[in-house]
Amino acid sequence: MAIRRGHFKTRLGFILAAAGSAVGLGNVWKFPWLAGENGGAAFLVIYLVIAFTIGVSVMLAEFLIGRAAERNPVGAFVRLKGGAWPIIGYMGVAAAFIILSFYSVVGGWTIAYAVKTATGLLETPETSALGGLFAAFTADAVEPLVYHAVFMALTVGVVSRGVGAGIERACKVLMPVFFVLLVVLCIRSVTLPGAAAGLKFFLAPDFSKVTPGMVGAALGQVFFSLSLGMGAMITYGSYVSHKANLPGAALWVTSLDSVIAVLAGVLVLPAVFAFGLDPQAGPGLTFITLPAVFSRMPLGGLFGTLFFLLLFIAALTSAVSLLEVAVAYFVDEKGVGRIKATLTVGAVIYLLGIPSSLSLGVWRDVTVAGKGIFDLMDYVASNLLLPLGGIFIALFAGWVVYPRVIDEATGGGARPFRWAPLWKVMCRFVAPAAVAWILIAGL
Ligand code: PFF
């Protein structure tokens, strides 16, 4: 069997790669519109509570399982226990196909918007006109599919060469630039006239708005944003040195991801209110409000282009981890060559994404259970497959292989792991019960 066992060189490199997987469209594109649709600040609070209890615990479980097994998600469960457990790994591989199919469509939008911002989009600063342009662009039967192909081809290009030096080094430079730009844009957004209402909406919680559906949406978003429940973090964990402190890494990645989601909310939502848009505008929210912000600042064309380029890079580092899950499975378990596996899986995922893209235009009327295809893909993966995977990953770490993973966490007793008792209770009881309850209530 062809086993390619790379290793991250440093703990920082590993944290940045894991953060590169976590930080992506989920933070900047999805989080603001979900918060907008679900009551703003109350959603933010519930999101953060779930992220720092269930999210960080499941992430640590994934890291530890991955490092203990040094395998892809299916192979990891086979190696550590076998029986029916590898089903969780297969579910993860399926989720990778589904998520990347629509993720790549939106990734294509970021490239399109980098190009459009550079070439005159901002000459139409009216938000209604920008809304119309976005609707016309996404409804087109050809243009978004071309950008979807470009995004997918780039993802395939990176993964086929291995995640190693290129992408890791690029992340180290570009993620900090992205962060600084985000802060600058936040300042512009909150100083727009009329921004205060948006800040209040995002930062002053009204808990009467809490519904089971909203808690379910927050849970799904935690799993999506932290790349949990499908084995992406198992895969990355399998490349870490046995010396690295994984509990600390899980806390770092969760914190970085949350800070960036909050900043994206502070960027997008005040602008929504300042320009009199509806915060419930859905997936178009970010792509309509941000150009409006750029058009109202000096050098907006430059900042706008740079911003969409960096967002594209954030999306690419996440897409790479999604594709890596599926490719690692075929390489490790089926002995398929890396290039062949990457090209084939990439092509299949591209085709899977086409209906999602068309569902925003010509196939607008095709619905299943009241949802368009794009929303359905997102819902099935984020709100069903990932939380379900998370339940079993937590149970597996907490009950089935607990001594083994504790050994991994402490380096055989050499390092302290102070919140081990808490983590054990989270994995054994709290995370599975809470996620199961939220899942059932959400249905
Ligand atoms: N966490 C990514 C984001 O927030 O954009 C999306 C994602 C990547 C989900 C990898 C799942 C995954 F395995």
Tens-place pLDDT, residues 146-169: 999 999 999 999 888 876 666 777
Burial of 339 (0-12, 13-18, 19+ CB in 10 A): middle
CA of 288 relative to ligand 1 center, distance in Å: 23
Residue 190 in contact with residue 270, Cβ under 8 Å? yes
Tell me what pLDDT residue 2 has. 39
With pLDDT > 70 as the criterion, what percentage of the chain qualifies?
A: 98
| Angle at 171 (CA atoms; ends 160, 357), nearest 5 degrees | 60
Q: Is the pLDDT of residue 203 over 90?
A: yes
Q: Is the pLDDT of residue 346 over 60?
A: yes
Pocket test for ligand 1, best of 62, 88, 97, 99 (most atoms within 8 A of CB): 99
Tens-place pLDDT, residues 229-271: 999 999 999 988 888 999 999 999 999 999 999 999 999 999 8
Query: How far is residue 49's CA from residue 54's CA, in Å, rounded to a whole number?
Result: 8
Q: Is the pLDDT of residue 106 over 50?
A: yes
Tell me what pLDDT residue 165 has. 61
* 86 conformational bin, left if phi > 0, alpha if psi -120 to 50, beta if neither: alpha
Pocket test for ligand 1, best of 47, 106, 225, 325 (most atoms within 8 A of CB): 225
Residue 297, SS3?
Answer: coil
Tens-place pLDDT, residues 33-67: 999 999 899 999 999 999 999 999 999 999 999 99
Domain residue spans in the chain? Answer: 11-442
- Per-residue confidence band for 5, with pLDDT thresholds at 50, 70 and 90: low
Q: In the CATH scheme, what is the homologous superfamily, with its name and number, of domain 11-442?
A: Hydantoin permease (1.10.4160.10)
Query: How far is residue 277's CA from residue 441's CA, in Å, rounded to a whole number?
Result: 31
Query: How far is residue 96's CA from residue 109's CA, in Å, rounded to a whole number?
Result: 20
Pocket residues: Cβ below 6 A from ligand 1: 21-22, 24-27, 99, 224-225, 227, 230, 232, 318, 321-322
Tens-place pLDDT, residues 187-202: 988 998 999 999 999 9
CA of 318 relative to ligand 1 center, distance in Å: 5
Q: What does the mean pLDDT of the chain come to?
A: 92
CA of 77 relative to ligand 1 center, distance in Å: 21
Q: Is the pLDDT of residue 374 over 60?
A: yes
Question: Containing H/E element for 72?
Answer: none
CA of 26 relative to ligand 1 center, distance in Å: 7
**Amino acid (one-letter) located at 276:** G
Strand 367-368 to 371-372 pairing: antiparallel
Query: How far is residue 189's CA from residue 202's CA, in Å, rounded to a whole number?
Result: 13
Q: By C-alpha distance, which of 231, 191, 269 is closest to 381?
A: 231
Task: Summarize the confidence of residues 346-364 as an average pLDDT.
Answer: 96
Tell me what pLDDT residue 49 has. 98
Q: Is the pLDDT of residue 71 over 50?
A: yes
Nearest atom of ligand 1 to the alpha carbon of 29:
5
Task: Tell me the CA distances in angstroms from 170 to 113, 240, 258, 271, 360, one per residue in order.
Answer: 21, 19, 21, 30, 33
Q: Is the pLDDT of residue 4 over 70?
A: no
